[in-house]
Amino acid sequence: MPPLLSYIEVTVTHSPLAFIYNLFTPTIQIDDVKQRKPWGVHSYQLPPGDYEVSVSYPWLFSAECGKSTVRVHLEIGQTRKVTYYAGFIRYVPGKMSVS
C-alpha cells in the first residue's frame, strides 16, 4: 500500500556573495501557514492536493522582501521539490522552481 501522505521539500538559498542575507531569517508560507526557517532545506509532510508555496525574507522596512510564489500539486506519496533563490536586488522577487 503506498503512503497516504506526500512531501514538499523547500530549499531556500542565496548567492554566497550575498552573505548579508545570513543575518535575516526567511519565511516559508504554505497556503496560509507561515513559518520562519533558516536558509537551507526544509521538508513538509502534507496530504495530497494543491498548495501555494511562498518564500520571502525581512529587509529593513519590508517584512516580505523578495517574495515569490509557486503552485504545487501533490499526488499520493509524491515528493515535490521547490527551490527559492534570492537575488542581489532586495526588492525584486526571488527565482522559484518546482521539480
Average pLDDT over residues 60-88: 94
Q: Are 48 and 64 in contact (CB under 8 A)?
A: no
Q: Is residue 21 part of a domain?
A: yes
Tally of structural domains, the chain: 1
pTM value is: 0.92
What mean pLDDT do residues 16-27 have?
92
Helix (H, G, I), strand (E, B) or coil at 32: coil
Q: Put residue 77 in one of left, alpha, beta given phi > 0 → left and psi -120 to 50 → alpha.
A: left
CA distance 57 to 39: 10
Domain containing 28 — which CATH number?
Answer: 2.60.40.1120
**Residue 1, in any domain of the structure:** no
Structural domain of residue 90, as residue ranges?
Answer: 6-98
In a domain, 67, yes or no: yes
Single out the residue of 41, 46, 37, 96 nearest to residue 74, CA to CA. 46
The confidence score (pLDDT) of residue 51 equals: 98
List pLDDT tens digits, range 46-62.
999 999 999 999 988 88
Residue 2 has pLDDT above 60, yes or no: no
Q: Which amino acid is at 77?
A: G
Asked if residues 71 and 3 have their Cβ atoms less than 8 Å apart, the reply is: no
DSSP strand pairing (33-36 vs 27-30):
antiparallel
